Each structure stands twice: as C-alpha cells, then as structure tokens.
Homo-oligomer: A and B are copies of this chain.
Amino acid sequence: MNYYTISQLAEQFDISTRTIRYYEERGLISPIRTDSGQRLYTKKDRAVLKLILRGKRFGFSLEEIHEMISLFDNDRTGRKQLEKTIAYGEQKLKEVTERIEDLMQLKQEMESILADFRERLQKLEETE
C-alpha cells in the first residue's frame, strides 16, 4: 500500500493543506505519521476526504459530516450500537431523499423559467 502526502491530496481535490489539517483538527480524518511527524494518507483517508467534500457541497456542516462518517466506522460491534447506527443511518437517508426531491423540484422550476425565456427570445427574433 502506498501513501499520499498532504499536498498531493490538496492538489487532487483543489483545496488547501490548511483545510485538510483543519478537518483533522475537527476529528474528521486521522492520517498516520512518519517518524519525523509528516502526515501520510491512505486510500481510505482519501475516500473519507472525498466524502467530506461531497457533504460540504450539499450544505452539511462539518459536525454533521463527522456524524455521518462515523457510520463508516466499522468498530460498532455491539447489538445496541448496531441498532443505534441503523436508526441514525435511516434518519440521514431520509434527509438525503428529501433533499433529492427538493432539488428535483428546483430543477423543474428552473427548466420552466428557462423555457419561458427561450420563448421570449424566439418572439424577439421573429419580429426582427
């Protein structure tokens, strides 16, 4: 397995190294360290980072994203823990579903407005 440096990840996702360190500060990502203290990121870390950025694009706060990431933490082995995790996951899934529906409605509206504008342009061109 090989690793990414912080600047490599920063470049790949077009964010600053500060941003990545900040996510670590907030407990969202936990790279290993070399003897000298440099951060090394695995593929898994990269996937987590990708998840964070996607969450951000949807307007989730880092706090919410933190909670969602813990869903992927496979260390929840007890039955009570599993049940809690599932319940939380179902809740989040519902939220995501609602957002999708909401967005699709927005899309519809934008399309109808665009159609309206195209029609107006059409009429302008006819009377030219």
Contact = CB atoms under 8 A, between A and B. Distances in A.
Contact of A124 (B59, B82, B125): B82
Given A79-B121, A79-B124, A107 B113 contact: no
B106 A54 contact: yes
Contact of A58 (B59, B72, B114): B59
Contact of A103 (B79, B89, B100, B121): B100
Contacts of A97: 107
Interface of A: 54, 56-60, 71-72, 79, 82-83, 85-86, 89-90, 92-93, 96-97, 99-100, 102-104, 106-107, 110-111, 113-114, 117-118, 120-121, 124-125
